[in-house]
Chain A
Amino acid sequence: MTFDRNARAALADGQLRDALRQATTLFGERRRAALATAPDWEGARDRARAIKDETLLHLDRYLEEFSANAERAGARVHWARDAAEACEVIGRIAEQRGARTVVKSKSMASEEIHLNAALTARGIEPVETDLGEYIVQLAGETPSHIVVPAIHKTKRQIAALFAERLGIEPSDDVATLTAVARQALRRRFAEADLGVSGVNFAVAETGTILILENEGNARLTTSLPRTHVALMGIEKVIPRFADLEVFLQLLPRSGTGQALTAYQSLLTGAKRRPEDEGPAELHIVLLDNGRSRLLASPVTRQTLACIRCGACLNACPVYRQIGGHAYGSVYPGPIGAVLTPQLFGLGRSPELPYASSLCGACRDVCPVKIDIPALLLHLRAEVVATRAGKQRVLERLAFSGYAAVMARPRLFEWVVRATRMLKVVPPLGAWTKGRDLRPLAPRSFRDQWRAGLSGKAP
């Protein structure tokens, strides 16, 4: 399985593991410190989840309201059923405006639909402007973390990359490297014909989209080029303008431990007068790509409450060891393990729901209280029921046998006794490779109970 192979490769990469340990520990500490500054953290989580629940239950209505209000304010709203359609819409907008270069601020949805490849195929150059995404793009790789996409790279590796691709002198100084990227990208911002951004929240009541960031590249992407295209999953909509407050209280603290990120841009439609600053046009692309299917049951619907803060990645003991690439998807970590199979099909990643020890740390830190372990268990049951995973014959037999034995206490005891007598070692090489195996007790509890522990004569 690809996940197996990727996970092993990640585990063998000492530098990656150090970087992951450092990053997840730091973000975890910062998040905990930030909670202390939040007024009523648990209350905020409950309110945010209630808003998401209500929105998702009436998603059609809220999307229609959002669309109407955005268009009333001068935006053009496009509906895209799947990745291909979204790429087609955005590609056509770019082509019609003669765009040669497109600057992009962070958008996981754009990665999901492989927008960059689609634009490149049309002879249009997409340029990632978020520093981490820029680094990852230069390296020809994919992001490994939602908030810090290039966490898997050392500054030395980045220096070598910049030296090779940008022709600068290699430098170990992070501020210097950042300044190099800033310089290189400023030119691209100034020249770009079109800017593509993501959307963190879309307000139905006003048709407003909100984008949050620390670097300023999203502001540049959405204010300099003549045309701005904002791509959003349909689950990003929230009902009221005032609802933004609770989500802004939760997201930055959960993701990076900040009370607020450096910038929030609230954009409503296109500029009112031609002489005003900003793009002449705003296009908003509403992306389904499998999300609507998740509405079909309460347990799966909560997946759509996710606000992409990254807190679950930082809390997950599995992610901490293997990083984002092992998940083989634009969405890594605990949320990725449940979102990826649901969006793209269990058949493509039947192993992801099993890549978890079910510890529940993710559920503890999720700002909108998504019960990820419940989702993992639901998906595991789906994998078994639909036989989505391969090579499961032996496992199915094993569990049938187990159920049959456990239904019969005498048989259970007999099997254990036989195992002990025949010194049968179960094929648990997977266990014994790293751990000693505790042997069966010479006298089980029930043996001792019968022999007098019960208080009755044996």
Chain B
Amino acid sequence: MRRSDDARSQMLHAIRENLAKSASSDAAQHAPPCGRSVPPTPNPLDMVARFTEQLAAVGAQWTVVRGATEAAHALARILTSAGARRVVGSDAPLVQRLVSGLGDGFVRESLDGLSRDGLFACDAGVTTAQWGIAETGTLVLESARENNRLLSLVPPIHVALLSTSCICDSLGDALARVSRASHAITLITGPSRTSDIELTLVVGVHGPQAVHVLLLEEEP
């Protein structure tokens, strides 16, 4: 404890001392511009179209669904065609409903009480996403709203439910909307990837190999 206090005060002192040395050669400093340019207000219809276009560009898949029933069917279809049997759903109420509605062909798990080995044995993780970013096809997951960190990471398939009304235009928009009370905010743009071996792209390294977004259109 004391050592760290010493280090802290010495480091701050070293910084101040060195800055003072340069003071004579520094021009007057103005407050810097904030890191945002102000973009024009986008059209909401455009945003969904742009979002799905970007999803495809980054290698994620998407299905538009209207309402929970369609979502349930789409989920079952996605999991079946991917050969995913062991499915773990997050604690979000909608996810719980959808996962529990899956037939007996699936082994349904919940993060609660799931061992580490159990988690690693899952074929698919289902979560919601709190926001989408149209500019880049990005999903934004906030830990304050749902336990979605591990389920969107460990199983090789990640299915995310996102309401179309939660798609925002740009990264800056998303940063302005997220709750800073979240101790973990995760931005996901497509499946995991690497080009570390001879620059050859491989999709699916440590994170999921496939990302499916179920886009929930709000009932009018």
Contact = CB atoms under 8 A, between A and B. Distances in A.
Interface of A: 19, 22-23, 26, 39-40, 43-44, 47-48, 50-51, 53-54, 57-60, 63-64, 67, 73-74, 78-81, 85, 89, 129-132, 135, 148-151, 153-155, 158, 174-175, 177-178, 181-182, 185-186, 189-190, 206, 208, 214-217, 219-220, 223-224, 234, 238-249, 256, 259-272, 276-278, 286, 288, 292-298, 301
26 contacts: A47-B32, A54-B29, A63-B15, A78-B4, A80-B7, A85-B3, A131-B205, A148-B199, A177-B197, A178-B197, A182-B206, A208-B180, A214-B193, A216-B208, A224-B150, A242-B35, A245-B36, A245-B170, A246-B36, A260-B187, A263-B192, A265-B187, A269-B183, A277-B147, A293-B14, A293-B18
Interface stretch (B19-27, B42-50, B65-73, B101-109): B19-27
Nearest to B111: A277
Given A43-B37, A150-B196, A223 B149 contact: yes
Contacts, number: 252
A57 B26 CA distance: 9
A150 B197 contact: yes
Nearest to B185: A266
Ordered nearest first, which 7 A-B pairs have the shortest CB separation?
Answer: A216-B207, A246-B35, A216-B206, A132-B196, A243-B35, A295-B18, A79-B8
Most chain B CB within 10 A, of A57, A178, A277, is at A277
Given A54-B31, A216-B192, A245-B172, A265 B25 contact: no
A22 B194 contact: no
B166 interface: no
A246 B136 CA distance: 14
A148 B22 contact: no
Contacts of A182: 204-206
A272 B31 CA distance: 34
Contact of B187 (A63, A80, A264): A264
A182 B206 CA distance: 6
A51 B32 contact: yes
A339 B162 CA distance: 44
Given A238-B35, A263-B186, 4 more contacts: A262-B189, A263-B192, A263-B207, A288-B14
A278 B149 contact: yes
B156 to A, nearest CB: 10
B136 A178 contact: no
B195 A79 contact: no
A270 B183 contact: yes
B18 A292 contact: yes
For A53, A81, A135, the residue with the greatest tally of chain B CB atoms inside 10 Å of its CB is A81
Contacts of B16: 60
A301 B22 contact: yes
A135 B11 CA distance: 36
Contacts of A277: 111, 143, 147, 149-150, 184
Contacts of B196: 130-132, 135, 148-151
Interface centre among B144, B171, B188, B205 (most CB of A within 10 A): B205
A79 B12 CA distance: 10
Contacts of A63: 11-12, 15
A81 B149 contact: no
Contacts of A79: 4, 7-8, 11
A244 B172 CA distance: 8
Interface in B26-65: 26, 29, 31-37, 39
Nearest to A80: B7
B197 A174 contact: yes
Contacts of A39: 37, 39
A81 B136 contact: no
B34 A242 contact: yes
Given A260-B136, A262-B189, A276-B147, A241 B180 contact: yes
Contact of A60 (B12, B34, B117, B120): B12
Contact of A155 (B3, B192, B197, B208): B197
Interface string B158-191: 0000000000001110011010111111111111
Contact of B15 (A74, A245, A295): A295
A278 B185 CA distance: 12
Contact of A47 (B3, B7, B35, B206): B35
B26 A50 contact: no
A215 B192 contact: yes
A239 B33 CA distance: 11
Contacts of A54: 29, 31-32
A190 B32 contact: no
A297 B37 CA distance: 30
A398 B54 CA distance: 61
Contact of A262 (B10, B29, B188): B188
A26 B198 CA distance: 11
Contacts of B188: 262-263
A155 B154 CA distance: 26
A370 to B, nearest CB: 16
A244 B116 CA distance: 33
B186 A268 contact: no
Contacts of A263: 186-189, 192, 207
Nearest to B190: A262
Nearest to A82: B7
B206 A249 contact: no
A14 to B, nearest CB: 15
B7 A85 contact: yes
B7 A223 contact: no
A263 to B, nearest CB: 6
B149 A131 contact: no
Contact of A220 (B19, B138, B153, B182): B153
